[in-house]
Amino acid sequence: MMSFLSRKKIDQTIPVKSIDPDAVSVLHRLNKAGFTAYLVGGGVRDLLLGRTPKDFDIATDANPNQIRRLFRNAFIIGRRFRLALIRFGDKQIETSTFRRSPEPDEIDSADAGTPGALYQGADNAFGTPEEDALRRDFTVNALFYDIASTKIIDYAGGLRDLAKKTLRSIGDPNIRFREDPVRMLRAVRLSARLDFTIHADSAKAIARHSGEIMQASKPRLFEEIGRLFTYSKAEEAFKRLWETGLMADLLPTVADYVAHSGKAKSPLWKYLATLDAAGPQLVVDDRRAPHYVYETSLRFAVLLAPLYLERCKIATAEGKIDAMAIAEALVGDVLVTPFSTPSWRVPRLMCQDIANILDSLSFHLSPNVRRNRYFRQPCFYTE
């Protein structure tokens, strides 16, 4: 194993000063205790691209209980996927044990053959660093940084794809996307965020298996759709969602609108571009209080705004407009009905916020409605 590992160590390195000091201290303590520990995943990728990582994640051969004994500020979360969160004030360093893909006999027989079963089963099967790298989604997310040698460890060709700005699935993408259909949505989001091209084999697999996307966990899908708005890349992310065919399965009402409103020239793209441009100027607060915008609600409202205005214009022409009813029906059609399950639904307050924002747009349609009605909504902050 050591000889194989040495062939995978690359002389390319990362300055330690660019890594979060608390992550560095976790790595050093694990190494000092005799464990192997690497900085892993998106943090390594972003550092190599010259970006500032959002998170610094660590993988180690120490199991969760050993991690907790070593760090008094650690606590264990998860059932299927147990990992340790090591607290430093308001910050947490996610520290997981190297894992491997489960064998067929480790998957619950009741789940066998269903999309996502292989991904969901036996997530606590511990493995080697190589096995852990090769079970990850894309090659650029399978890069490890060894602080002991200050070298990059590349088991999957991630450095090559990073240089080519290519997002490539690890292994056969047809199998990997069936293991976890949400990976298709992650491919769209990550390629848009990094301005990468999805590798041809992965793109073909997405087109082939896009119809299976709604078989994934509805809460996970809804969360991933929300992430498409992040990093001021909403326009590009949703364009790629449309181009790959995933939008037709995830958000068919939105896809229908794009199809009949100009496709690549649909007004939707201008709305999302405006949202991207606003980016940091959005005022966000975690508390439910008047005069603050809920960022997620506003983002979904922008996505639905051109559809809402189109429906309002049709209703106005027919002489039977009820703006709020139209807004609530649209939110239900696009978000509530497709993503609700017996045990989970899109938060009711979020849906109401989205409907309120959409209803406020009706001042465009009626000269008798004063524009400041728009700004009296409790969703918006005004100075």
Give the model confidence (pLDDT) of 273-329 as tens digits: 999 998 766 655 444 444 344 788 999 999 999 999 999 999 988 887 899 999 999
Q: What is the pLDDT of residue 137?
A: 95
Task: Choose the catalytic residue: 20, 46, 55, 333.
Answer: 55
Q: What is the pLDDT of residue 319?
A: 83
Cα(355)–Cα(363) distance, rounded to whole angstroms? 14
Task: Choose the catalytic residue: 137, 154, 180, 353.
Answer: 137
105: which DSSP letter? G
* Listed residue (81, 79, 90) closest to 59, CA to CA: 81
Band (pLDDT 50/70/90 cuts) for residue 123 is low
The tokens for 178 are: 């069936």
Average pLDDT score over residue span 124-144: 94
Q: What is the pLDDT of residue 365?
A: 57
Average pLDDT score over residue span 90-119: 70
Range of weakest confidence among 66-80, 100-114, 178-192, 257-271: 100-114
DSSP 3-state of 138: strand
Whether residue 137 lies in the annotated active site: yes
Q: What is the pLDDT of residue 212?
A: 97
Q: What is the pLDDT of residue 290?
A: 42
Cα 128 to chain centroid distance, Å, stands at 26
Q: What is the pLDDT of residue 293?
A: 46
Band (pLDDT 50/70/90 cuts) for residue 382 is very low
| Statement: residue 348 has pLDDT above 80 | yes
Q: What is the pLDDT of residue 332?
A: 98
Q: What is the pLDDT of residue 115?
A: 52
Average pLDDT score over residue span 327-351: 95
Contact 161, 140 (CB under 8 A): yes
Contact 187, 169 (CB under 8 A): yes
Q: Classify burial at 38, counting beta carbons within 10 Å of its beta carbon; exposed 0-12, middle 13-18, buried 19 or more.
A: buried
Q: What is the pLDDT of residue 13?
A: 81
Q: What is the pLDDT of residue 287?
A: 46
Whether residue 55 lies in the annotated active site: yes
Q: Is the dihedral of CA 55, 61, 64, 69 positive or negative?
A: negative
Range of weakest confidence among 41-45, 51-55, 101-105, 314-318: 101-105
Q: What is the pLDDT of residue 280?
A: 64
Cα(355)–Cα(359) distance, rounded to whole angstroms? 6
Q: Which domains are assigned to the chain?
A: 1-164 (3.30.460.10), 166-250 (1.10.110.30), 282-375 (no CATH)
Q: What is the pLDDT of residue 106?
A: 56
Band (pLDDT 50/70/90 cuts) for residue 108 is low
Q: Please, what is the average pLDDT of the chain? A: 87
